[in-house]
Structure 1
Amino acid sequence: MVFVFFIMSILLFLLYTGMPGDPARAEVEPLKRTLTPEAFEDAYREARARYGMDDPVVTRYTRWMGRTLRGDFGDSLVYKRPVFELVKPPIGTTVKINLVSTFLVLGVTIPLGIR
């Protein structure tokens, strides 16, 4: 189980980092019209350094996994708030729905299986 979690985490990380575009570009792109090309490139380099995107892949993965295991999912690029604050309210509802559906399924299937 731990092995599967480890492999899936690597695959998800590589999938996320392999997507076109990056958070640094998304952050500085709105400034493109107001900055000179040199200032824009400087802002882009600073954003990449702030996000640690120039670090080796292994370093970025270990940092990402460490934060994930501690429950630190970073800040939302869209809402500028911690991701945990955004997903916390729906998690309670999701758990309740899953518990109700599990007990409902077990309540129906166990009696049918005993027959």
Structure 2
Amino acid sequence: MNPKTTKTIYWIGAILTSLWFGASGFFELTTNPIVWGITQQLGYPPHFIYILGVAKVSGVIVLLIPDKFLRLKEWVFAGLFFDIIFAFASKFAVLGPAATADAIVAFVMVTVTYLSFRKIYG
């Protein structure tokens, strides 16, 4: 794959990932009843939901700054993977396998974006 294609895939993935996790973080910080209801149904306490929201919004900001903070972006990707893995496991355990579809889609999206990031920045 040529470098231009890799960069295009990365930026499409970074934008989609930022929209996904940025919206989620925003809804967590603004106590959206749907997001909060599901998260509390999974057993997470309110203070954790705020922390998650701050982490997601901060991560999205870092992710969208071009060619800067590369080491920090690695940490953002790690945090996203942890979030997805915990969301999958929690939903699987509490709500059942059908509720994990969004986590699977997020995992694929973030994985492709991360692999593109690694190809570009080595």
Task: Tell me the TM-score normalised to structure 1 length.
Answer: 0.38
Structure with bigger RCO (C-alpha 8 Å, 6+ apart): 2
Task: Tell me the TM-score normalised to structure 2 length.
Answer: 0.37
Higher helix content, 1 or 2: 2
Q: Which has the larger radius of gyration?
A: 1
